[in-house]
Structure 1
Amino acid sequence: MKFQAVIFDMDGVLIDSEPFWKQAGIDVFDQIGIAVSQQEMQALTGMPAAGIIKTVYQRYQQMPVPVEEMVKRMNDCAISMILENKPLMPNVPETLEKLTALGCKLAVASASPRYLLEQITERCGIARYFQYLSSATELDYNKPHPQVYLHAAHQLEIDPQACLGIEDSVLGMTAVKAASMHCAVIPARMERNDPRWSLADYKLEQLTQIPKLFA
């Protein structure tokens, strides 16, 4: 078999949650008097909540609320919207079913907290497909560091070089490649021509193309 495991990013790959994270950032900053634009939040895609908050505080030279408290507010706001909407990406169950039928081990490697990973996979009916959920919030480093992907591979007992990582952000792609894994990216339509995607092994348009990489 070409790959023994496929490790998925969650936000923007399995669930269309990026709009909710962006809106949560705009909302929580607005509540403390910092007007962050949609464009600014777009530029921070793939960055964990703490990184977003520190970047915005630095840019506006303000820190009215401690970073840890803002992380909690942003997580709570986004998670509430995500769980309410259950925005599963198209063709997720079918793709996971095909990969499972190919004898492939599956995991998630995400910057999101574990309770969100567990609740989303449960509520969207896809929890049974994953052997492990790797959350960078429980580790020393977040993406673009490879630790969250290496941890997932270790838990699956698969050599990183036999793993395929699926990402939608440049930060995430960097983490996958730093973990010595093969990488497939599924960029948002507006970002598809970014030359940085050349670092990836495969550039796909949709999830249904992943099982075809095993041919």
Structure 2
Amino acid sequence: MGDNFNSVQKAVIFDMDGVLIDSEHLWQKAEFEVFSSLGVTVTEDLAAITKAMTTKEVTEFWKSRFSWEDISLEQVEELVISRVIELIKNDNCEIKGIRNFIKKIKDQGYKIGLATNSPDKIIPVVLEKLKLTQYFDAISSSDFETNGKPHPSVYLTTCAKLDVNPMHCVAVEDSYSGMLAAKRAGMRIVAFTNGNNDTDLSIAEFVIQNFEQVDSTEISSWYSSLS
């Protein structure tokens, strides 16, 4: 069993927003500021619809409801991204325990990847802020995919970069949309709740409430039934 376990390379692939950083409120703030300045009435109900979207999709969503003049979709998207980067740099948004958790995974010999719907240019900002850049073997953004999560492509791209079969990869996700993307990619899912009891966990194999409470034995158990 032990020899077989070590003969196949395995990986853990992390979502970013809500898993590495607590950033939902920062995106909400940036989007409210930018879209309001363009004459958009940003209501809670409509904003809730955009939560799982890429920045491009969010911009298209508001443009289709409140059309604005004199500025392109791409320029608006850039305004949102620039504001989010500024907020991340100045906010204490690190998820508690994430750095030591990732170090434990690395120490156990697993490859580590990142697969996010967030824009590519935000990824290095987050990894540098958390001092985690060196631990990631591959990073991917839905910027470079035709579809973001819940489509599996960003996860499949990350698995390919890591040179690990999706069946030997575990995804750490906080949203149902992200879990669905990982499931469709053929991965197993670790749901991170951060104390939030509203998330649909029905397709997750494992659940983490708090990264500080996860030990090496629990991490190994994610892979115990993988061939």
Q: Which residue in 2 is equivalent to 1:28?
A: 34
Larger radius of gyration: 2
Determine which of 99, 102, 115 is the counterpart of 2:121.
115
Deviation track 1:136-180 (CA, whole Å, cap 9, x = no partner) reads: 212333211111111111111110000000111121111111100
Is 1:89 aligned to residue 95 of structure 2?
yes
Asked whether the 8 Å contact 2:191–2:204 carries over to 1, the reply is yes
* Structure-1-length-normalised TM-score: 0.89
Structure 2 counterparts to residues 103-182 of structure 1, below 5 A:
103-182=109-188
Deviation track 1:81-122 (CA, whole Å, cap 9, x = no partner) reads: 112225211001110111011111101111222332112212
Asked whether the 8 Å contact 1:45–1:169 carries over to 2, the reply is no
2:29 is aligned with what amino acid? Q
CA distance in 1 between partners of 2:125 and 2:39 (Å)? 31
**CA spacing shift, 1:193–1:120, aligned 2, 3 Å:** closer
Q: CA deviation at 1:189?
A: 4.1
Determine which of 72, 93, 101 is the counterpart of 1:66.
72
**CA spacing shift, 1:138–1:210, aligned 2, 3 Å:** farther
Q: CA deviation at 1:80?
A: 1.2
RMSD: 2.1
**CA spacing shift, 1:95–1:26, aligned 2, 3 Å:** same
Classify the secondary structure of the residue corresponding to 1:166.
strand
* Structure-2-length-normalised TM-score: 0.84
Is 1:200 aligned to residue 219 of structure 2?
no
Structure 2 counterparts to residues 34-45 of structure 1, below 5 A:
34-45=40-51
> Structure 2 regions of 5+ residues with no counterpart?
222-227
1:142 is aligned with what amino acid? G
